[in-house]
A and B are shown apart, each in its own frame.
Chain A
Amino acid sequence: AKKAAGHDEL
Protein backbone atom coordinates (compact mmCIF):
# COMPACT_ATOMS: atom_id res chain seq x y z
CA ALA A 1 0.00 0.00 0.00
CA LYS A 2 1.15 3.53 -0.78
CA LYS A 3 2.22 5.29 2.40
CA ALA A 4 0.85 8.81 2.58
CA ALA A 5 3.12 11.49 3.99
CA GLY A 6 1.88 12.95 7.26
CA HIS A 7 -1.57 12.37 8.65
CA ASP A 8 -4.09 11.13 6.13
CA GLU A 9 -7.18 11.28 8.35
CA LEU A 10 -9.34 14.20 9.34
Chain B
Amino acid sequence: MNLFRILGDLSHLVSIFILLQKMRSTRSCAGISLRTQILYLMVYCTRYLDIFWTFNASLYNSSMKLVFILSTAYTIYLMRTVYKTALDPQIDTFATYYLVGGAGLLAVLFPYKYTVYEVLWSFSIWLESVAILPQLFMLQRTGEAETITTHYLFALGAYRALYIPNWLYRWFLEGHFDPIATVAGIIQTLLYSDFFYIYYTKVLKGKKFELP
Protein backbone atom coordinates (compact mmCIF):
# COMPACT_ATOMS: atom_id res chain seq x y z
CA MET B 1 0.00 0.00 0.00
CA ASN B 2 1.57 3.26 -1.09
CA LEU B 3 0.48 6.88 -1.04
CA PHE B 4 -0.69 6.92 -4.69
CA ARG B 5 -2.92 3.90 -4.15
CA ILE B 6 -4.49 5.38 -1.00
CA LEU B 7 -5.01 8.77 -2.64
CA GLY B 8 -6.54 7.03 -5.67
CA ASP B 9 -8.97 5.06 -3.53
CA LEU B 10 -9.89 8.15 -1.51
CA SER B 11 -10.48 10.07 -4.72
CA HIS B 12 -12.81 7.28 -5.87
CA LEU B 13 -14.68 7.39 -2.58
CA VAL B 14 -14.92 11.18 -2.66
CA SER B 15 -16.28 11.09 -6.24
CA ILE B 16 -19.21 8.95 -5.10
CA PHE B 17 -20.01 11.31 -2.22
CA ILE B 18 -19.86 14.30 -4.59
CA LEU B 19 -22.29 12.57 -6.94
CA LEU B 20 -24.75 11.87 -4.12
CA GLN B 21 -24.29 15.43 -2.87
CA LYS B 22 -24.92 16.78 -6.39
CA MET B 23 -28.26 14.98 -6.56
CA ARG B 24 -29.22 16.04 -3.07
CA SER B 25 -28.28 19.72 -3.44
CA THR B 26 -29.78 20.24 -6.89
CA ARG B 27 -32.62 17.75 -6.23
CA SER B 28 -31.89 16.38 -9.66
CA CYS B 29 -29.74 13.91 -11.55
CA ALA B 30 -29.65 16.13 -14.65
CA GLY B 31 -26.35 15.79 -16.50
CA ILE B 32 -25.57 12.35 -15.02
CA SER B 33 -25.56 9.34 -17.33
CA LEU B 34 -27.63 6.43 -16.01
CA ARG B 35 -25.86 4.20 -18.54
CA THR B 36 -22.46 4.99 -17.06
CA GLN B 37 -23.76 4.28 -13.54
CA ILE B 38 -25.18 0.93 -14.64
CA LEU B 39 -21.86 0.03 -16.28
CA TYR B 40 -20.05 0.86 -13.02
CA LEU B 41 -22.42 -1.39 -11.10
CA MET B 42 -21.60 -4.19 -13.56
CA VAL B 43 -17.90 -3.45 -13.07
CA TYR B 44 -18.09 -3.69 -9.28
CA CYS B 45 -20.34 -6.77 -9.24
CA THR B 46 -18.05 -8.70 -11.61
CA ARG B 47 -14.76 -7.60 -10.02
CA TYR B 48 -15.66 -7.90 -6.36
CA LEU B 49 -17.10 -11.42 -6.46
CA ASP B 50 -14.17 -12.43 -4.25
CA ILE B 51 -15.68 -10.50 -1.38
CA PHE B 52 -17.45 -13.74 -0.45
CA TRP B 53 -14.24 -15.69 0.08
CA THR B 54 -11.68 -13.02 0.98
CA PHE B 55 -13.76 -11.01 3.37
CA ASN B 56 -11.25 -11.14 6.18
CA ALA B 57 -8.13 -10.93 4.01
CA SER B 58 -8.17 -7.16 4.11
CA LEU B 59 -10.85 -5.28 5.96
CA TYR B 60 -9.87 -2.17 3.99
CA ASN B 61 -10.43 -3.80 0.59
CA SER B 62 -13.62 -5.57 1.64
CA SER B 63 -15.21 -2.46 3.09
CA MET B 64 -14.30 -0.37 0.04
CA LYS B 65 -15.76 -3.05 -2.24
CA LEU B 66 -19.00 -3.07 -0.28
CA VAL B 67 -19.17 0.72 -0.33
CA PHE B 68 -18.62 0.87 -4.10
CA ILE B 69 -21.26 -1.76 -4.85
CA LEU B 70 -23.86 -0.41 -2.43
CA SER B 71 -23.37 3.30 -3.19
CA THR B 72 -23.57 2.75 -6.94
CA ALA B 73 -26.69 0.61 -6.54
CA TYR B 74 -28.15 3.36 -4.34
CA THR B 75 -27.26 6.03 -6.94
CA ILE B 76 -29.05 4.04 -9.65
CA TYR B 77 -32.02 3.52 -7.35
CA LEU B 78 -32.24 7.29 -6.70
CA MET B 79 -31.92 8.08 -10.40
CA ARG B 80 -34.71 5.69 -11.29
CA THR B 81 -37.11 6.70 -8.52
CA VAL B 82 -36.72 10.01 -6.65
CA TYR B 83 -34.94 11.91 -9.44
CA LYS B 84 -36.34 10.12 -12.47
CA THR B 85 -38.02 13.23 -13.90
CA ALA B 86 -34.56 14.60 -14.80
CA LEU B 87 -33.55 11.47 -16.72
CA ASP B 88 -33.23 12.21 -20.41
CA PRO B 89 -33.06 9.08 -22.55
CA GLN B 90 -32.84 11.33 -25.62
CA ILE B 91 -29.41 12.55 -24.52
CA ASP B 92 -28.09 9.46 -22.74
CA THR B 93 -27.89 7.30 -25.86
CA PHE B 94 -24.37 5.91 -26.09
CA ALA B 95 -24.40 2.36 -27.48
CA THR B 96 -23.29 0.59 -24.31
CA TYR B 97 -23.60 -2.95 -25.69
CA TYR B 98 -20.50 -2.31 -27.79
CA LEU B 99 -18.61 -1.47 -24.63
CA VAL B 100 -19.89 -4.57 -22.83
CA GLY B 101 -19.22 -6.71 -25.93
CA GLY B 102 -15.71 -5.32 -26.43
CA ALA B 103 -14.83 -5.80 -22.75
CA GLY B 104 -16.25 -9.34 -22.92
CA LEU B 105 -14.14 -10.16 -25.96
CA LEU B 106 -10.94 -8.81 -24.40
CA ALA B 107 -11.72 -10.69 -21.18
CA VAL B 108 -12.09 -13.99 -23.04
CA LEU B 109 -8.94 -13.32 -25.09
CA PHE B 110 -6.67 -12.09 -22.28
CA PRO B 111 -7.51 -13.34 -18.82
CA TYR B 112 -4.68 -14.29 -16.45
CA LYS B 113 -6.32 -17.68 -16.04
CA TYR B 114 -9.31 -19.40 -17.59
CA THR B 115 -11.47 -19.46 -14.49
CA VAL B 116 -14.85 -17.77 -14.12
CA TYR B 117 -13.46 -15.42 -11.50
CA GLU B 118 -10.40 -14.37 -13.56
CA VAL B 119 -12.36 -13.87 -16.80
CA LEU B 120 -14.94 -11.76 -14.96
CA TRP B 121 -12.14 -9.82 -13.26
CA SER B 122 -10.53 -9.07 -16.64
CA PHE B 123 -13.97 -8.12 -18.04
CA SER B 124 -14.49 -5.68 -15.18
CA ILE B 125 -11.09 -4.04 -15.75
CA TRP B 126 -11.74 -3.50 -19.48
CA LEU B 127 -15.32 -2.41 -18.91
CA GLU B 128 -14.23 0.09 -16.27
CA SER B 129 -11.74 1.63 -18.71
CA VAL B 130 -14.58 2.66 -21.04
CA ALA B 131 -17.54 2.94 -18.63
CA ILE B 132 -17.22 6.74 -18.55
CA LEU B 133 -17.85 7.07 -22.30
CA PRO B 134 -21.69 7.39 -22.10
CA GLN B 135 -21.17 10.14 -19.49
CA LEU B 136 -18.57 12.00 -21.59
CA PHE B 137 -20.75 11.57 -24.68
CA MET B 138 -23.69 13.09 -22.82
CA LEU B 139 -21.49 15.98 -21.69
CA GLN B 140 -20.47 16.59 -25.27
CA ARG B 141 -24.09 16.67 -26.40
CA THR B 142 -25.18 19.15 -23.74
CA GLY B 143 -21.95 21.16 -24.11
CA GLU B 144 -21.90 22.29 -20.49
CA ALA B 145 -22.03 20.92 -16.97
CA GLU B 146 -22.81 22.04 -13.45
CA THR B 147 -19.65 22.73 -11.48
CA ILE B 148 -20.42 20.02 -8.90
CA THR B 149 -20.79 17.47 -11.72
CA THR B 150 -17.34 18.43 -13.03
CA HIS B 151 -15.88 17.93 -9.52
CA TYR B 152 -17.44 14.44 -9.52
CA LEU B 153 -15.91 13.62 -12.90
CA PHE B 154 -12.55 15.02 -11.89
CA ALA B 155 -12.40 12.91 -8.71
CA LEU B 156 -13.52 9.82 -10.64
CA GLY B 157 -10.87 10.34 -13.33
CA ALA B 158 -8.16 11.21 -10.80
CA TYR B 159 -8.68 7.84 -9.09
CA ARG B 160 -7.39 5.78 -12.02
CA ALA B 161 -4.80 8.39 -12.93
CA LEU B 162 -3.37 8.06 -9.38
CA TYR B 163 -3.22 4.29 -9.81
CA ILE B 164 -0.66 4.76 -12.62
CA PRO B 165 2.16 6.04 -10.34
CA ASN B 166 1.04 3.32 -7.88
CA TRP B 167 1.65 0.66 -10.57
CA LEU B 168 5.04 2.21 -11.42
CA TYR B 169 5.95 2.25 -7.73
CA ARG B 170 4.95 -1.39 -7.32
CA TRP B 171 6.77 -2.41 -10.48
CA PHE B 172 10.08 -0.81 -9.44
CA LEU B 173 9.95 -1.34 -5.70
CA GLU B 174 7.99 -4.56 -5.31
CA GLY B 175 8.54 -6.29 -8.63
CA HIS B 176 4.76 -6.48 -8.96
CA PHE B 177 3.37 -5.86 -12.44
CA ASP B 178 -0.24 -6.21 -13.57
CA PRO B 179 -0.28 -5.64 -17.37
CA ILE B 180 -4.09 -5.90 -17.80
CA ALA B 181 -4.90 -3.33 -15.13
CA THR B 182 -2.04 -1.06 -16.23
CA VAL B 183 -2.91 -0.96 -19.95
CA ALA B 184 -6.64 -0.55 -19.22
CA GLY B 185 -5.89 2.10 -16.58
CA ILE B 186 -3.80 4.12 -19.02
CA ILE B 187 -6.59 3.95 -21.64
CA GLN B 188 -9.12 4.99 -18.98
CA THR B 189 -7.00 8.00 -17.99
CA LEU B 190 -6.43 9.02 -21.63
CA LEU B 191 -10.21 9.10 -22.19
CA TYR B 192 -10.38 11.78 -19.52
CA SER B 193 -7.61 13.95 -20.97
CA ASP B 194 -9.89 16.41 -22.80
CA PHE B 195 -12.10 16.69 -19.74
CA PHE B 196 -9.08 17.25 -17.44
CA TYR B 197 -7.83 19.98 -19.76
CA ILE B 198 -11.13 21.90 -19.73
CA TYR B 199 -11.55 21.33 -15.99
CA TYR B 200 -8.08 22.80 -15.42
CA THR B 201 -8.45 25.76 -17.78
CA LYS B 202 -12.04 26.68 -16.84
CA VAL B 203 -13.46 25.23 -13.62
CA LEU B 204 -10.30 25.68 -11.55
CA LYS B 205 -10.18 29.30 -12.70
CA GLY B 206 -13.71 29.91 -11.50
CA LYS B 207 -15.42 29.73 -14.87
CA LYS B 208 -18.35 27.58 -15.93
CA PHE B 209 -17.60 24.26 -17.63
CA GLU B 210 -18.49 24.86 -21.26
CA LEU B 211 -17.25 23.06 -24.31
CA PRO B 212 -15.71 25.21 -27.03
Contacts and interface: CB of A to CB of B under 8 A. Distances in A.
Interface of A: 1, 4-10
Contacts of B40: none
Interface residues of B, number: 20
Chain B interface, >50% SS class: helix
A9 B50 CA distance: 12
Contact of A10 (B54, B57, B65, B178): B65
A9 B181 contact: yes
B61 A10 contact: yes
Contact of B163 (A5, A6, A9): A9
Contact of A9 (B5, B57, B68, B174): B5
Contacts of B57: 4-5
B9 interface: yes
A10 to B, nearest CB: 5
B174 A8 contact: no
25 contacts: A1-B174, A1-B175, A1-B176, A4-B57, A4-B58, A5-B54, A5-B57, A6-B50, A6-B54, A7-B47, A7-B50, A7-B121, A7-B178, A8-B58, A8-B61, A9-B5, A9-B163, A9-B178, A9-B181, A10-B9, A10-B12, A10-B61, A10-B64, A10-B65, A10-B68
